[in-house]
């Protein structure tokens, strides 16, 4: 029979293991990865929102032939900005060290943080990554499959017009899309890229929008109110408790961004920063992002989306004229969101405020503006006239203002929907810093 001290030691070890298993096991028992990964706002990878199947190839629309296409494509998955990379190297390393010293996480999660270290240099800011390359190539391949014989098999300058903004991520997105579309590297004739392109990045030319909205702290008042709300403060408290030290909202947002980028970069890897968020906290963070993009790039101010008339004038010019029939533009989140708002897509019946977290909403940037998001218009010549169809994320959607229940819209009706706004598209006037201010809420 074992001696009393030895027995006591064994009992102590058993008890310690039991307590540790309970404490640590509980922390690891919930795995809200699916919830987290689908709620990463504009940093959501396209693979998490793309739904394959459920639509007919373009060539199977009875009695119709494709005449023209016009598409806006957001660049694929990229690296963060210089500012975020710098904070990953400094702030996140400090938070990681706090977690390893004081964090209330299970063994597996702690091991993930032990292995974590910043992977980027500031020189790599905003560059397209391997996941982004794959996203754009696959998009090109699926575009070819959907359009089939309705799309010229080989590249000819007379048939295709490709253009990208003056950024590495947009340029490489265009090149990889064309690789997927044609099945090989082709010598595409790209026009000169512009950092302030009136079609691809019109908002860079709109000084009034930049002054009164983008750089105006009052424009994100609803975001600030939300981050100071009781649900958000409680979420910050829960996350701080896991980390083992008090964190402010800015640090929580940095951790959320890192979770998003590291998820987008790698199909199989789970970022340790994602383990700090429960289902409720990540929904709250996602809503905070939705609020910000609603007021800066969406429906919050009329000027934000009305300036997109600059881009849609190009759409009608190309559909009505004798230019290249197939147009592909590679651009950015700001262009896609403003264009959706110009069209009336994903518009809720109420303006989004900090009080609307629990309400159902259409404006969810995780779904509508993930990396590689796309809006494509197709013009058809059909036996009953000319029609147009809009696809968002490769699926046909109803064009607001066209007959309900139909994805094909009579082209003349479509033109009339936007005629007044496009005919009166006084971009320079509306964007002048000297025009009288209006209450645009």
| Residue 55: predicted pLDDT | 55
The string of pLDDT tens digits covering residues 374-392 is 999 999 999 999 999 999 9
Q: Is residue 2 part of a domain?
A: no
Q: Is residue 6 part of a domain?
A: no
Q: What distance in Å separates the CA atoms of residue 358 and residue 360, rounded to the nearest whole number?
A: 7
Q: Is residue 43 part of a domain?
A: no
CA contacts within 13 A on the Cβ side of 239: 29
| Residue 60: predicted pLDDT | 72
Domain hosting 332: range is 54-431
Average pLDDT over residues 17-26: 39
| Residue 268: predicted pLDDT | 85
This prediction has a pTM of 0.90
Q: Is residue 31 part of a domain?
A: no
User: How many domains does the chain contain in total?
Assistant: 1
Average pLDDT over residues 83-112: 96
In 3D space, the residue among 295, 394, 302 whose CA is nearest the CA of residue 344 turns out to be 302
Q: Is residue 414 part of a domain?
A: yes
Q: Is residue 32 part of a domain?
A: no
Q: What distance in Å separates the CA atoms of residue 273 and residue 96, rounded to the nearest whole number?
A: 9
Q: Is residue 228 part of a domain?
A: yes
Residue 11 has pLDDT above 50, yes or no: no
Average pLDDT over residues 299-304: 98
Q: What distance in Å separates the CA atoms of residue 42 and residue 286, rounded to the nearest whole number?
A: 9
Q: Is residue 340 part of a domain?
A: yes
Of the pLDDT bands very low, low, confident and very high (cuts 50, 70, 90), residue 30 is low
* CATH code, 323: 3.40.50.1240
| Residue 62: predicted pLDDT | 84
Of the pLDDT bands very low, low, confident and very high (cuts 50, 70, 90), residue 190 is very high
| Residue 47: predicted pLDDT | 95
401-409 long-range Cβ contacts below 8 angstroms, 24+ apart: 401/344, 408/61, 408/64, 408/380, 408/382
Integer angstrom CA distances of residue 261 from 100, 119, 211, 258, 268? 22, 11, 29, 5, 13
| Residue 202: predicted pLDDT | 98
Strand 385-392 relative to strand 395-397, pairing: antiparallel
């Amino acid at each position: 029979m074992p001696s009393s001290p030895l027995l006591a030691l064994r009992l102590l070890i058993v008890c310690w293991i039991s307590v540790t298993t309970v404490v640590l096991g509980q922390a690891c028992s919930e795995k809200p990865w699916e919830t987290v990964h689908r709620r990463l706002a504009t940093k959501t990878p396209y693979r998490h929102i793309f739904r394959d199947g459920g639509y007919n190839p373009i060539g199977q629309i009875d009695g119709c032939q494709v005449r023209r296409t016009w598409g806006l494509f957001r660049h694929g998955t990229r690296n963060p900005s210089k500012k975020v990379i710098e904070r990953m190297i400094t702030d996140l390393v400090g938070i990681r060290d706090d977690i390893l010293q004081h964090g209330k996480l299970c063994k597996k999660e702690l091991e993930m943080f032990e292995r974590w270290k910043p992977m980027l240099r500031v020189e790599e800011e905003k560059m397209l990554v391997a996941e982004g390359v794959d996203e754009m190539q696959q998009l090109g391949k699926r575009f070819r499959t959907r359009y089939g014989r309705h799309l010229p098999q080989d590249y000819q300058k007379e048939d295709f017009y490709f253009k990208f903004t003056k950024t590495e991520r947009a340029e490489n997105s265009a090149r990889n899309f064309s690789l997927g579309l044609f099945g090989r590297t082709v010598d595409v004739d790209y026009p000169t890229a512009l950092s302030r392109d009136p079609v691809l990045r019109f908002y860079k030319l709109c000084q009034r929008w930049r002054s009164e909205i983008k750089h105006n702290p009052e424009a994100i008042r609803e975001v600030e109110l939300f981050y100071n709300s009781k649900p958000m403060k409680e979420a910050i408290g829960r996350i701080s408790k896991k980390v083992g030290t008090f964190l402010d909202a800015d640090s929580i947002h940095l951790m959320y961004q890192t979770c998003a980028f590291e998820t987008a970069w790698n199909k199989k890897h789970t970022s340790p920063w994602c383990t700090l968020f429960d289902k409720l906290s990540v929904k709250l963070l996602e809503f905070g992002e939705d609020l910000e993009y609603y007021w800066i790039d969406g429906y919050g101010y009329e000027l934000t989306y009305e300036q997109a008339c600059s881009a849609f004038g190009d759409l009608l010019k190309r559909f009505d004229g004798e230019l290249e029939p197939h147009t592909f533009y590679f651009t950015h989140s700001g262009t896609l969101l403003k264009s959706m708002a110009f069209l009336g897509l994903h518009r809720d019946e109420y303006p989004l405020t900090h009080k609307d977290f629990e309400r159902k909403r259409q404006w969810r940037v995780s779904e509508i503006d993930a990396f590689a998001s796309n809006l494509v218009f197709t013009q058809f010549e059909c036996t009953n006239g000319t029609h147009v169809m809009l696809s968002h994320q490769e699926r046909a959607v109803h064009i607001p203002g066209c007959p309900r229940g139909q994805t094909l819209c009579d082209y003349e009706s479509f033109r009339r929907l936007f005629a007044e706004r496009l005919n009166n598209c006084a971009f320079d006037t509306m964007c002048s810093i000297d025009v009288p201010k209006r209450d645009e809420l």
